[in-house]
Homo-oligomer: A and B are copies of this chain.
Amino acid sequence: MVAIGDEILSGRTKDKNIGHFAEVATLAGIDLMEVRIVPDVEARIVEAVDALRGRYDLVVTSGGIGPTHDDITADAIGVAFGLPVEEHPEAVSRLEAYYAGRDMPFTEARRRMTRTPKGARLIDNPVSTAPGFSVENVHVMAGVPHVFQAMLDNLMATIPHGRPIESRSVPCPYGEGDIGDALARIAKARDGVSIGSYPRFSEGRYTTEIVLRSRDRDKLDEAESAVRALLAEMG
């Protein structure tokens, strides 16, 4: 995923799209492998998109597709794919109808939102009409969270999913330092199961949440039993 926007890097806006996408992808059996947050600078967007689109099956972007001069994502995607960027006829007719229906002028700024790399597929925007778009394995969506989320729902309906990862959470009354050695031994002996531990700090002491994740339910059951047996032994 590439999240685009000076406002995230300056701290003015707290990104909400990365966490949302991470959850939706995980539920759908898609592993989110890497996220980059880049400024509204064409060369930086191009670099990030190019790096990720070659490496991973799927890239989503958020931000930079509005009507103002700092919305340069469409141009950057055009550069990344070597495609001219032009008004997408279907996007133009959707926005014409949208603004006509609201008695609002279809300004040149608003027309910017119809620009896509030539041949892009549109991603529907049920909230405010101006669409996202896809070029090959790169899916370009809005930065405003409720628009991003709506576009993502439409996108997810169209892309192939993997087998979902199941996860199990085992609360542990000990700190990471108390269980780390034994947990490492359990993790080392088990392929196909990821065992993470997440410290919690409250009321002056650490406890731990142990999270096991796998696509294989049998392996997950077995690893969970091993962890629970360990905790019972320590108690």
Interface centre among A9, A110, A187 (most CB of B within 10 A): A9
Query: Measured between C-beta atoms, what is the minimum distance from A211 to chain B in Å?
Result: 7
Chain B residues with CB below 8 A from A179, complex form: 68, 109
**Assembly of this chain: how many copies?**
2
Within 8 Å of chain B (Cβ to Cβ): is A39?
Answer: yes
Chain B residues with CB below 8 A from A146, complex form: 201
Q: How far is the CA of A146 from the CA of B170 in the complex (A)?
A: 23
Chain B residues with CB below 8 A from A177, complex form: 67, 104, 107, 109-110, 113
Taking a contact as CB atoms under 8 Å apart, the answer to whether A8 and B22 are in contact is yes
Question: Of B69, B187, B195, B201, which one neighbours A188 at CB under 8 angstroms?
Answer: B69
Q: How far is the CA of A162 from the CA of B169 in the complex (A)?
A: 44
Taking a contact as CB atoms under 8 Å apart, the answer to whether B69 and A180 are in contact is yes
Within 8 Å of chain B (Cβ to Cβ): is A221?
Answer: no
Query: Measured between C-beta atoms, what is the minimum distance from A66 to chain B in Å?
Result: 5
Q: Which residues of A contact B (CB under 8 A)?
A: 6-15, 18-26, 31-40, 44, 66-70, 104-105, 107-110, 112-113, 127-128, 144, 146-147, 165, 167, 175-181, 183-184, 187-188, 194-199, 201, 206, 211, 213
**Pairs across A and B, CB under 8 Å, 14 listed:** A7-B196, A10-B26, A11-B22, A11-B24, A12-B211, A35-B37, A70-B195, A70-B197, A107-B178, A107-B181, A109-B180, A109-B184, A113-B177, A147-B201
Give 6 new A-B contacts, CB below 8 A, not counting A11-B22, A68-B183.
A11-B26, A35-B35, A35-B36, A68-B180, A105-B178, A109-B184
